[in-house]
Amino acid sequence: MQELDEQLEVAPEPSEVGRARRWVRAQLGRGQSCPACPDESQTDTLVLLVSELVTNAVVHTGRPALLRLAVREPDSVRLEVVDDSARAPRPRRAAGEDTGGRGLELVELLADRWGWQEEGAGKRVWCELTCPPARRAPGGGERRREPRGERKVPARY
Average confidence (pLDDT) over 58-83? 90
At residue 139, the pLDDT reads: 53
**CA-to-CA dists, residue 50 to 67, 124, 139, 141, 145, angstroms:** 8, 13, 38, 33, 23
Of 9-23, 41-55, 102-116, 123-137, the one with minimum mean pLDDT is 123-137
Tens digit of pLDDT for each residue in 114-153?
A: 999 999 999 999 999 988 765 544 554 434 344 444 444 4
Average confidence (pLDDT) over 11-28? 94
At residue 99, the pLDDT reads: 59
Average confidence (pLDDT) over 18-42? 78
Distance between CA atoms of residues 54 and 66, nearest Å: 9
Report which secondary-structure segment, H or E, holds 145: strand 143-145
At residue 87, the pLDDT reads: 87
